[in-house]
Chain A
Amino acid sequence: MFLRMIKGTLLRQWKKMLMIAFTIALGSSLATAMLGVMLDVGDKVNQELKTYGANITVVPKRASVIGDLYELEDGGTSGAYLKEDELGKIKTIFWAFNIVDYAPFLNAAATLDDGSEVTVVGTWFDHHMDLPTGEQLDAGVVSMRSWWEIESGAWLDEQAGADPDAAMVGTALAQRLGVTAGDTIHVTGSTSDRTLKVVGVYDAGGDEDDQIYVQLGTAQALDSLEGSIDSIEVSALTTPDNELAERAAKDPSSLTVSQYETWYCTAYVSSICYQIQEVITDSVASPVRQVADSEGAILEKTQLLMILITILSLIGAALGICNLVTASVMERASEIGLMKAIGAQNGAVSALVLTEILITAVIGGVAGFFAGWGFAQIIGHSVFGAAINIRPMVIPIVAVLVVLVTLIGSIPAMRMLLRLRPAEVLHGGH
C-alpha cells in the first residue's frame, strides 16, 4: 500500500516531481563541478607553474661552498662533480612521481677561433629514459626552458639520433659570430676540439644568450670529463611550505620521529631536496627560492579563491533546493490534511512525504552528479587541456549534501503542516 501510494504520487504528479528533481540535479551538478575543480585546481595550476623552470638545483657538495666564485677562470678548478650514472636515481626517490622534469648541466670553457672565450653547456634536450618502474620519461631543457624563443632552425632533437656535433647557439653570440642554423663553429676545449654544427639559434633573454648548448657527451669530451656533471636542475610538483617544513629544512634531525615522518612523506620542496641528496652522492640540493616560494604563494591564493567560490555556490545550491522542497511540501497541505482526517498517523504521513521527496532527490542527485562531472571536464579541457580528476571524496560529500539539504527543506514544513488541524487545512483557511 505504502509503495503504491508513493508510486501513485510520483506518476500522477510527475511534472512537479520532475521540477524538484531538476532543481536538485542543478544543485548537485553545481556542487560536483565546483568541488571537483576545487580539489584538482592545485595540481593543475602546479603543472602550469612548471613553465617557470626548475625549482630545485643540485650541485656537488664542495662546489656549493666555493660556488661560482672562481668560475670566471673555470675549466675544472672546483674539481667536484656529480656522477652522470646516478641521474636515473632521482626517479627512484619517495616522491619520484612528483618529479616532472630534470636535466643535468656541464659547463665547459672553450675558446673560439678568434681567441674569445665561450661557455659550452652540455645538457639533455629531450632525453628519453626507460625507468626501472616501467615508466618512460622525456626530460630536458626543451620543456624546462619553455620561455626560449627559437629564432632560426629548431630545437636539437636528441631522440632522432642527432649528430653529437649538433649545437644550439644563443642569439647574442650568434649575432657576434654571424652564424645561423646550418653554419658551423669550431671550439677548442681544454683537452680536445670540435667543429659544431648549429641546428638552432635561441633567444633566452638572459645570460644563456652568450652560450652554446650541446649534448652532454659533447661537452664532456671537450674537457675529458666523461661521466661528470656540474649541476642538475629538477622541476618538481611541491606542496607550499609550512612551519614544519621550514624547521625541517634547517635541520631534519631536530624533528621528532612522527614529525619527521610527516615531513618526509609530504611533497615539501625541502623534503624532496633531502631525498635527492640521499640518492646522489656528495650532493647539495637546494630550492630555487624565486620559483619555489612564488609557486607556493600563487598556489595557495588560487586554492583559497576556489574554495570561497565553491562555498558561495554550495550555499546558493543548498538554498535553492531547500526553497523548492519547502514550497512543494507546503503545497500539499490539503492532501496531508485529508490523510489525517481519514485517520493517518503523523508518522505514517511524514514517512510517505519524506520517502517521495528523497526518491526524487536521489534521482535528481545522481543525474546532477554526472552533469557536474561533465561540467568539470569542460572546465578542465578548455582551461588546462587536461581532464579534471574528480576525487572519490566528492561523491559522499555531494550525496550527504543533497540528502541533508532535502531533509532540512522538508522537515520544518512538514512539522508545521502536521501541527495544523485537518479541518482547518481542508477548509483552506491558512
Chain B
Amino acid sequence: MKKSTMFVRMITASLMRRRSRMVVALLSIAIGATVLSGLVTIYYDVPRQMGAQFRNYGANMILTPSGDSMTLDDVAAGAACIPSDQLVGMTPYRYETVRIRETPVVAAGTDLESAKKTSPFWSVEGEWPSANGELLLGAAVAEQYRLKVGDTIEVTYTPEELADASADPATVTADEMILFDVTGILDTGGSEEDHIYMYMADLETLTGTANKADVAELSVSASGDVLAGYVERVAQGSDAVSARLVKRVTASEATVLSKLQALVLLVTTVVLALTMICVATTMTAVVTERRKEIGLRKAIGASDSSIIKEFMGESMLLGLLGGVLGSMLGFLFAQEVSVHVFSSTISFRPLLVPITIIVSIAVTGLSSLLPIRSATEVDPALVLKGE
C-alpha cells in the first residue's frame, strides 16, 4: 500500500514538475491517437458514404414482368424483398403512346417523387410536377412542339383497338383527352428527353386502365455479391416480376468503389505508420533527456527494475491520457470530415476507443523501453559525469 502510493506520487510529481515537457509529449501522443481513431473511423465509413454518392448514377436494378404484364402490387411485392434501409428509391414506369397535336409521343406514367430519388441526375428547368394535371416534358419533345414552361397542352390517347379505325369519326370522339400544365423541361442528354412524364394517376385516367407497370427502376445501396443476392431474393420471393441488374452501373460501380477503398486504406496505413514512428521518436527523445536522473537514482541505490517500472509507468500514463484525448478528437475530426464532405453524420464506434488507447499505450511504452534500458545499463558515474 505504502509502496504503491509512493510510486503514484513519484510519477505524478515527475509529471507535474516537468510540466511543459510533458505537455509536449502528451500533445504528440494525442495527435498520434487522433490520427489513428479519426482515419480508421473514416476508413470504415467511406464505403457507405461513397456508395451513397454512387447512387447519383441512378437505378442499378430493374424489375420487369416475368410474363406479359405486371401490376403495381407485383412491383411493390418485388421491391419488398429488398431490405428497406438499403432501398434508396423504387420507381415504377408505364409507357404508352399518346398524341400531342395529333403526333405520337411516348408518355411515361410514374411516381415523380421517387423518380427524383432513382434518377438524381435529371436536370429540370422549371419545377417538378407536384400534382395531377401537371407534366414534365423531355427537352427534345419541348423543342419539337415549341413548348415552354407554363404552357398548357392537350394530350390525347387513342385506345389500340380503335387506332386502326381512326378514319371513322365516331371512334375519334372516343379518345380520352386531358389538359396538362407544363411545369418543367427535362434535360438528361439521354433518351428520356424524347418522352413526357406524368403522374401514374393521369396516365390511368387517359388510358382507362389502372394498376399496370412496364418496368420499375430500383436504386439499391449495395454492390457486388450483396446486390446479386437481392436479385436471387426477388426471384424467389415473387413470381410475377423478375429482377435484372443494370450492368453498366453495377459493374462500373464495383470497379471504381474498390479502387477508392483501396486508396483510403493505403493512405490510412501510410499516415498511421509515419505518425506512430513520429510519436515513438518524440517519446525516445523525452526519455533520453533524463539519463542524468536515471544515473542519480542508480547511484543512490535504486534497482534497475524499479527504475524501469517507474519510467514505464510514467510513459504509459501519458499514453493513456493521450489515447483518451486522441480518441475523442479523432471522432470529432471524422465527424467534421463526414459533415463537410458527405453532409451526413457518422456513427460512433465504441470499439475504437479501447483500441486507440491500447495502441497509444503500446507505442509510448515500447518507444520508451529501449532508451530506459540503455540508460540503466550504463555505469551511473559515467551518466552523471555527463558523457
Could you tell me which A residues sit within 8 Å of B by CB distance? 16, 19, 22-23, 26-27, 29-30, 33-34, 37, 41, 45, 48-49, 51-53, 56-57, 64-69, 146-149, 203-206, 286-294, 297-298, 301-302, 304-306, 308-309, 312-313, 315-317, 319-320, 323-324, 326-328, 330-331, 375, 378-379, 382-384
Contacts and interface: CB of A to CB of B under 8 A. Distances in A.
B251 interface: yes
Given A313-B35, A319-B31, A146 B251 contact: yes
A95 to B, nearest CB: 18
Given A289-B188, A298-B54, A206 B274 contact: no
A69 B245 CA distance: 27
B193 A383 contact: no
Nearest to B188: A289
Interface string B100-112: 0000111000000
Interface in B281-308: 281-282, 284-286, 288-289
Given A49-B252, A294-B54, 15 more contacts: A34-B271, A48-B256, A51-B252, A52-B252, A57-B189, A203-B247, A289-B188, A292-B189, A304-B341, A305-B341, A312-B34, A316-B278, A327-B282, A378-B266, A383-B263
Contacts of A26: 274, 277-278, 281
Interface string B326-356: 0000000100110011100000000000000
Contacts of A297: 53, 56
Nearest to B49: A301
A202 B320 CA distance: 59
A304 to B, nearest CB: 5
Contacts of B140: 64-67, 69
B194 interface: yes
Nearest to B52: A301
Contact of B275 (A147, A316, A384): A316
Interface stretch (B20-28, B67-75, B160-168, B220-228): B20-28
- Please indicate which of the listed interface residues B121, B274, B278, B288 has the most CB atoms of chain A within 10 Å of its own CB: B274
B144 A67 contact: yes
Contacts of B105: 69
22 contacts: A23-B281, A26-B278, A52-B57, A57-B189, A67-B144, A147-B251, A149-B247, A205-B244, A286-B189, A293-B121, A294-B121, A301-B53, A305-B46, A308-B337, A312-B34, A315-B31, A316-B271, A324-B281, A327-B21, A327-B289, A379-B270, A382-B262
By Cβ-Cβ distance, the 6 closest A-B pairs, closest first, are A205-B247, A320-B278, A294-B56, A147-B251, A67-B140, A288-B189
B246 A205 contact: yes
Contacts of B271: 30, 34, 309, 312-313, 316
Nearest to B284: A19
Query: Interface SS of chain B: helix, strand, loop or mixed?
Result: helix
B282 A48 contact: no
Contacts of A304: 340-341
- Please indicate which of the listed interface residues B57, B271, B278, B281 has the most CB atoms of chain A within 10 Å of its own CB: B278
Contacts of A331: 289
Contacts of B333: 312
Contacts of B248: 52-53, 147, 204-206
Contacts of B380: none
B365 interface: no
B7 interface: no
Interface of B: 21, 24-25, 27-28, 31-32, 34-35, 38-39, 42, 46, 49-50, 53-54, 56-58, 104-106, 119-123, 140-141, 143-144, 187-191, 193-194, 244-249, 251-252, 255-256, 259-260, 262-264, 266-267, 270-271, 274-275, 277-279, 281-282, 284-286, 288-289, 333, 336-337, 340-342
- Please indicate which of the listed interface residues A16, A41, A67, A204 has the most CB atoms of chain B within 10 Å of its own CB: A67
Given A313-B271, A327-B21, A45 B260 contact: yes
A64 B144 CA distance: 9
A205 B259 CA distance: 23
A51 B284 contact: no
A76 to B, nearest CB: 19
B189 A290 contact: yes
A301 B343 CA distance: 10
B247 A147 contact: yes
A288 B38 CA distance: 37
Given A319-B28, A327-B289, A308 B266 contact: no
A383 B278 contact: no
A41 B256 CA distance: 13
Given A41-B263, A290-B188, A327-B21, A312 B38 contact: yes
B274 A323 contact: no
A280 B260 CA distance: 36
B310 to A, nearest CB: 20
Given A52-B248, A304-B341, A288 B190 contact: yes
B57 A290 contact: yes
B244 A289 contact: no
Contact of B274 (A30, A294, A298, A382): A30
A39 to B, nearest CB: 13
A308 B341 contact: yes
Contacts of A317: 274-275, 278
A22 B274 CA distance: 11
B337 A67 contact: no
Contacts of B249: 52
A146 to B, nearest CB: 7
A48 B272 CA distance: 26
Nearest to A334: B386
A399 to B, nearest CB: 18
B256 A45 contact: yes
B157 to A, nearest CB: 17
A323 B24 contact: yes
A308 B278 contact: no
